[in-house]
């Protein structure tokens, strides 16, 4: 398996010889998208929109920038995104097939080396998840040695690429950070997975140097803020610190208010004390808030949490989103009427979901034509539930799909059209109905909410 992972990374580096970098500060980012799922390609730097262009008749696009803020960007072709590292003078092309978005993506042209390496690293991390999971029952030293070996192989691949002299120092640093922080995530997760796999009642004792890498963690590196391994590490790491500090030092009486509330207030305090870089700080605060609020703790505890959030992150750039989520969750409490969200039937007639559930017991579930695997799985699950729970009407609401494609899928898969509706305004529907989990469902009776946070798998026996 290790050889396979190494080969995967090395293969991602195989490409045509790049043109010599020029002094021209212009940047060209172009490409072709096979089986497009949207009409546009959008380029971002962090949360800032850089440019948005439409695909032409051959499903090609071109973004031409007079200059660029060098570093990590990401491009978005609804509903997928992937990052791209851009530097002055780059002339970068991509080709991908949306059926296998990441796996089919290939970079070519000036700037290809670091981008193919980062893509190869992303795919390798996905491929090695099962391998690493098999390591979690090992003793700490053995586990660390295995993870360090995987990391070493990736560093060797990067070093080989760097010796060819076609990577800038910034490109090398971003690639190296992707390798290191991916490894650090595994070590942060180790005590929890080891305890679970071994069935132990307490966390395993760790060697003093197990977390030695923490001495080198940079909590304020703006260039890494949107690098997925770095950001994911920060989430794991802060959660780990909060949990362990709470286990070792908190008064049990103080925890009685709510385990979730207590733990997440700890995380807010840690972010406040450790992270100063504005984008990373705001994003981490947002992550904690969304994660906690979606657990739909009691109304009283949610109010306590949101007060603590505002106190520590009142100038958060995501404050409007968090406030809307908080208010939306309060509106979706049990025994409230369903909100007046508009959906359309196959004849194009508008309906309120409250009216759809009038005089019957309904389970609303959600699907998208862009996510075939999820669509197939949830269709099978709903078919099972219809047999087991005939007292409910199971109503599908389609999101993020072109109307014509939605209707074509209804015909292709022979879905009951009387039970299927299409939502035009995805953002409004997702925000109002709190559709973050793809397996979310809403149980209602005669227009009144029974459970707004049900799950099509875990909520029905």
Q: Are strands 393-398 and 361-367 parallel, antiparallel or unpaired?
A: parallel
Residues 15 and 104 in one domain: yes
Residues 238 and 309 in one domain: yes
% pLDDT > 90, the chain: 77
Residues 263 and 367 in one domain: no
% pLDDT > 70, the chain: 93
Summarize pLDDT for 72-87 with one digit per residue, the tens: 999 999 878 999 999 9
Asked whether residue 386 is domain-assigned, the answer is: yes
Statement: residue 193 has pLDDT above 80: yes
Q: Which of 119, 112, 120 is nearest to 167 (CA)?
A: 112
The residue-averaged pLDDT of 337-357 equals: 95
What pLDDT sits at residue 138? 96
Classify 264 as helix, strand or coil: helix
Is the CA virtual torsion 190, 137, 156, 10 positive or negative?
negative
Summarize pLDDT for 427-443 with one digit per residue, the tens: 889 989 999 889 999 99
Summarize pLDDT for 336-345 with one digit per residue, the tens: 999 999 999 9
Window from 4-13, 143-152, 300-309 with minimum mean pLDDT: 4-13
What pLDDT sits at residue 247? 75
Statement: residue 254 has pLDDT above 60: no
What pLDDT sits at residue 41? 96
Residues 159 and 224 in one domain: no
| pTM score, whole prediction | 0.84
CATH number, domain containing residue 346: 3.40.30.10
7 pLDDT tier (thresholds 50, 70, 90): very low
307 pLDDT tier (thresholds 50, 70, 90): very high
Asked whether residue 97 is domain-assigned, the answer is: yes
Residues 313 and 429 in one domain: no
The residue-averaged pLDDT of 314-326 equals: 94
What pLDDT sits at residue 253? 61
130 DSSP 8-state letter: H
Residues 429 and 291 in one domain: no
Residues 142 and 17 in one domain: yes
User: Domain containing 319: what range?
Assistant: 217-331
CATH number, domain containing residue 146: 2.60.40.1120
Query: Would you say 52 and 42 are in contact if contact means Cβ atoms under 8 Å apart?
Result: yes
- Spell out a b/e string for 306-338, using b for 16 or more CB atoms within 10 Å of the CB, else e: bebbbebbeebebbeebeebbebbebbeeeeeb
Could you give the number of structural domains in the chain?
3
220 pLDDT tier (thresholds 50, 70, 90): very high
The residue-averaged pLDDT of 30-58 equals: 94
Asked whether residue 191 is domain-assigned, the answer is: no
Residues 50 and 98 in one domain: yes
Residues 307 and 353 in one domain: no
Residues 243 and 371 in one domain: no
144 contact partners, CB below 8 Å, separation of at least 6 = 187, 207, 210
């Amino acid at each position: 398996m290790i050889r396979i992972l190494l080969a995967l990374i090395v293969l991602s580096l195989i490409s045509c010889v790049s043109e010599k970098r020029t002094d021209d500060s212009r940047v060209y980012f172009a490409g072709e998208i096979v089986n497009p799922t949207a009409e546009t390609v959008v380029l971002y730097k962090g949360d800032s929109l850089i440019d948005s262009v439409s695909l032409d008749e051959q499903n090609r696009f071109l973004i031409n920038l007079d200059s660029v803020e060098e570093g990590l960007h990401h491009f978005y072709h609804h509903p997928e995104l992937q990052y791209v590292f851009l530097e002055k003078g780059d002339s970068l092309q991509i080709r991908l097939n949306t059926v296998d978005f990441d796996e089919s993506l290939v970079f070519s042209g000036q700037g290809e080396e670091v981008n193919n390496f980062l893509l190869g690293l992303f795919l390798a991390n996905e491929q090695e998840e099962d391998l690493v999971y098999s390591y979690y029952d090992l003793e700490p030293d053995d586990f660390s040695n295995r993870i360090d070996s995987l990391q070493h192989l990736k560093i060797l691949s990067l070093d080989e690429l760097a010796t060819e002299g076609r990577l800038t120092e910034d490109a090398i640093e971003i690639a190296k950070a992707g390798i290191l922080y991916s490894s650090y995530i595994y070590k942060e997760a180790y005590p929890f997975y080891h305890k679970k796999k071994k069935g132990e009642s307490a966390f395993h004792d760790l060697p003093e140097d197990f977390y030695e890498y923490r001495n080198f963690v940079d909590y304020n590196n703006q260039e890494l803020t949107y690098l997925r391994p770095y950001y994911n590490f920060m989430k794991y790491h802060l959660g780990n610190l909060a949990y362990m500090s709470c286990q070792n030092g908190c008064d049990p009486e103080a925890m009685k208010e709510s385990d979730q509330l207590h733990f997440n207030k700890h995380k807010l305090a840690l972010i406040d004390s450790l992270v100063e870089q504005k984008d990373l700080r705001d994003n981490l605060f947002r992550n904690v808030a969304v994660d906690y609020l979606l657990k739909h703790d009691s109304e009283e505890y949610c109010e306590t949490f949101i007060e603590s959030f505002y106190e520590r992150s009142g100038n958060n750039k995501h404050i409007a989103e968090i406030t809307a989520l908080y208010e939306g969750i309060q509106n979706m409490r049990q025994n409230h009427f369903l909100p007046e969200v508009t959906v359309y039937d196959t004849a194009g007639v508008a309906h309120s979901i409250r009216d759809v559930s009038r005089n019957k017991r309904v389970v609303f579930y959600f699907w998208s034509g862009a996510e075939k695997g999820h669509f197939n799985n949830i269709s099978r699950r709903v078919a099972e539930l219809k047999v087991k729970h005939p007292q409910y009407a199971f109503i599908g609401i389609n999101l993020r799909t072109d109307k014509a494609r939605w209707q074509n899928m209804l015909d292709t898969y022979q879905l009951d059209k009387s039970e299927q509706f299409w939502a035009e305004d995805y953002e409004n529907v997702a925000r109002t109905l709190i559709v973050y989990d793809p397996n979310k469902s809403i149980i209602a009776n005669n227009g009144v909410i029974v459970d707004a946070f049900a799950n099509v798998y875990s909520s029905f026996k």
